[in-house]
Amino acid sequence: DGGITQSPKYLFRKEGQNVTLSCEQNLNHDAMYWYRQDPGQGLRLIYYSQIVNDFQKGDIAEGYSVSREKKESFPLTVTSAQKNPTAFYLCASRDRGRVDEQFFGPGTRLTVL
C-alpha cells in the first residue's frame, strides 16, 4: 500500500507555532511533492523537489518551508506565517526517469486550534 508514509496522521497546532510534517518513501524515487487539499478544492502544489538538496516553490509556497537532505525524506514545515494552515496535506513521489505517475502518501490532517 504505497511505500510512502506520512506522520502524524492528525496534528493539532496552536496559533503562532511552527509544525513539521514528515514524508518518507522507500520507492527510490527522485522527485517528491507536497500538496494541500481543502474541502471542495483540488490539490494545490506547495513545494516540489527533483533531487537531493534542491527544491522549488509551487503555487502556494508562502508560509511553508521544506528541506531535502536525503532522497527518502521531504519534510514540510508549516510556519506561523501561514495564515490559514488547517487542511489535509498530501505528499507524493515520482520516478523521474520513467513515468509521470505520482504516488501519494496517506496524508496528514492539520488543525489549528
Partner 1 sequence: GENVEQHPSTLSVQEGDSAVIKCTYSDSASNYFPWYKQELGKRPQLIIDIRSNVGEKKDQRIAVTLNKTAKHFSLHITETQPEDSAVYFCATGGTSYGKLTFGQGTILTVHP
Site residues (vs partner 1, CB under 8 A): 2, 31, 33, 35, 40-45, 48, 50, 56, 58-59, 90, 94, 96, 100-102, 104-107
Nearer to partner 1, 41 or 84 (CB): 41
Alpha carbon distance 78, 11 (integer Å)? 11
Query: Which residue in the block uniquely carries the three cell numbers 503555487?
Result: 59
Please choose, from the candidates 68, 65, 43, the residue with its C-alpha nearest in 3D space to the C-alpha of residue 53: 68
Nearer to partner 1, 19 or 91 (CB): 91
Q: Read off the C-alpha cell for 65.
A: 518551508
Task: Quote the least distance from Cβ 106 to partner 1, whole Å.
Answer: 5
